[in-house]
């Protein structure tokens, strides 16, 4: 596939997501009535090579971890945020049986208005089976 979107994603992976001691930072874009959200991905595995906002046409469901079609080393992590989200941290860690993403989100005044779907494309240094990755939303 050629065009501006794949080139843009490649640039984001290569430039904007340079890790700082196992952390990747990006801003999840806002939209009408929803402010942008600062997102930090903390990698405790050493496997994450880059992170980008996943295009909205990539399928996923709340708390889902899938593989991007045709790119086995790219995990698509999808969760539901809210209109009042201020920051989100995803911690990627090893477990006894595989891997886990733990999501921590700060919200203004415990606001839970309007569910907002969010997805990230997380490029790994080596492919892992998505069924070995669990997603946990921390309260």
Q: Which residues pair with 103 in a beta bridge?
A: 90, 137
Q: Tell me which range, 33-37, 40-44, 77-81, 114-118, is most confidently predicted by mean pLDDT.
A: 40-44
Q: What's the pLDDT tens digit per position in 76-89?
A: 999 888 888 889 99
pLDDT at 62: 64
**Is 9 a residue whose pLDDT tops 70?**
no
**Is 50 a residue whose pLDDT tops 90?**
yes
pTM (2 d.p.): 0.79
**Is 5 a residue whose pLDDT tops 90?**
no
Distance CA 130, CA 13 (A): 20
Strands (E), 85-132: 85-94, 99-107, 115-124
Provide, rounded to the nearest whole percent, the portion of the chain with pLDDT above 90. Answer: 53
pLDDT at 137: 86
Q: For 18-54, give the secondary structure using H, E and C.
A: CCCCCEEEEEECCECCECCEEEEEEECCCCEEEEEEC
Mean pLDDT over 131-137 rounds to: 93
pLDDT at 16: 46
**Is 35 a residue whose pLDDT tops 80?**
yes
Which tokens is 94 given?
């090893």
């Amino acid at each position: 596939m050629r065009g501006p979107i794949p080139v843009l994603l490649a640039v984001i992976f290569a430039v904007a997501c340079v890790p700082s001691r196992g952390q990747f930072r990006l801003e999840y874009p806002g939209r009408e009535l929803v402010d942008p959200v600062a997102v930090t991905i903390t990698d405790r595995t050493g496997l994450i090579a880059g992170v980008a906002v996943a295009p909205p046409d990539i399928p996923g469901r709340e708390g889902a971890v899938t593989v991007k079609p045709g790119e086995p080393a790219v995990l698509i992590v999808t969760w539901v945020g809210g209109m009042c989200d201020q920051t989100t941290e995803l911690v990627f860690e090893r477990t006894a049986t595989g891997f886990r993403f733990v999501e921590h989100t700060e919200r203004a005044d415990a606001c839970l208005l309007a569910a907002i779907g969010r997805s990230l494309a997380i490029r790994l240094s080596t492919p892992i089976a998505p069924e070995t990755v669990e997603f946990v939303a921390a309260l």
